[in-house]
């Protein structure tokens, strides 16, 4: 996915956080005296540059949202300091929850198996409410990440996945981030059923991303349904490297 934005518009938008200027000679974008992009394009006399270049220059990443894109802090999606890290099959523990990715699949359609409801999935993803089936657009593909969690605490807890308290996203090798369109478990898209200490559950998380995207990591927020409990992010490498 290569998305271009109007460099002149972004110059005004980011003026509060970065001094930005695009030079006609050499077709570069300069941010704080440093070259942020070498792929400025002139279309009808207007300069355009990749969103990912802008994001990287100001310490952010591009997250795909329903209906568009958002520049979010790098710490929120794919550059997390002190995070618990691993690969597919590793069990990760943040002191409260044990988490594992057991597999990753691609598909053109996916039918929900439980009574969970989807997130706000955007107009580009088709969802049949009768069959509870997602269908990816022609240029996209569905990614099904199969996960397992276990309650590592001494009290019964519900696991929280609502968008407002979660950084969960897939990231790619170009610095983009893609948030889930659905979790397939009863209680989604807010929380699981209460889990006793030591009890486990498995569930798929469904994403819709551009076809051909080279996946890098899954960032997953582990959090109790408790306003006083701050979530912890784990990172699972999906690249095989």
Residue 70 has what pLDDT?
66
Nearest to 166 by CA among 221, 90, 97: 221
Angle, CA 166 vertex, CA 160 and CA 171 arms, to 5°: 130
CA Rg, the chain, in Å?
20
Angle at 202 between CA 201 and CA 208, to 5 degrees: 140
Q: Report the phi/psi class of residue 62: left, alpha or beta, with left for phi > 0 and alpha for psi in -120 to 50.
A: beta
What is the end-to-end Cα distance of the chain in Å, rounded?
A: 22
Helical H segments across the chain, by residue range = 7-13, 51-57, 74-77
Task: Write the pLDDT tens digit of every residue in 33-46.
Answer: 888 888 888 888 88
Structure tokens at 109: 């359609």
Query: pLDDT of 94-119, one tens digit each?
Result: 999 999 999 999 999 999 999 888 87
The one-digit pLDDT tens for each residue of the chain (241 residues) are 444 455 444 444 443 333 334 444 457 888 878 888 888 888 888 888 888 888 778 766 666 555 667 665 443 433 344 468 999 999 999 999 999 999 999 999 999 999 888 876 666 889 999 999 999 999 999 999 999 999 999 999 999 888 777 899 999 999 999 999 999 999 888 889 999 999 999 999 999 999 999 999 999 999 998 877 788 999 999 986 5
Residue with tokens 């460099």: 7
Q: 91 pairs with which residues across the strands?
A: 100
**Other CB atoms within 10 A of residue 80 CB:** 18
Structural domains of the chain in order of their starting residue, each with its CATH number: 4-58 (no CATH), 84-237 (2.60.40.1240)
């Amino acid at each position: 996915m290569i998305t271009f934005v109007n460099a002149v518009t972004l110059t005004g938008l980011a003026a509060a956080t970065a001094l930005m200027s695009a030079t006609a000679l050499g077709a570069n974008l300069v941010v704080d005296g440093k070259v942020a992009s070498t792929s400025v394009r002139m279309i009808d006399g207007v300069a355009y540059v990749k969103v990912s270049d802008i994001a990287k220059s100001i310490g952010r990443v591009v997250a795909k949202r329903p209906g568009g894109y958002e520049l979010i802090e790098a710490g929120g999606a794919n550059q997390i300091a002190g995070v618990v890290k691993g690969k597919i099959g590793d069990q990760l523990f943040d002191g409260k929850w044990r988490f594992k990715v057991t597999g990753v699949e691609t598909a053109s359609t996916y039918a929900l198996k439980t009574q969970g409801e989807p997130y706000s999935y955007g107009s580009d993803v088709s969802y049949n409410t009768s069959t509870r089936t997602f269908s990816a657009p022609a240029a996209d593909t569905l990614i099904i990440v199969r996960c397992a969690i276990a309650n590592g605490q001494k009290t019964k807890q519900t696991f929280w996945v609502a968008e407002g308290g979660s950084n969960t996203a897939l990231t790619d090798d170009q610095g983009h981030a893609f948030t889930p369109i659905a979790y397939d478990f009863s209680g989604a898209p807010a929380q699981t059923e209460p889990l006793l200490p030591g009890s486990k559950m498995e569930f798929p998380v469904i994403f819709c991303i551009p076809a051909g995207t080279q996946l890098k990591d899954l960032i997953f927020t582990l959090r109790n349904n408790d306003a006083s409990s701050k979530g912890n992010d784990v990172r699972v490498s999906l690249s095989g490297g």
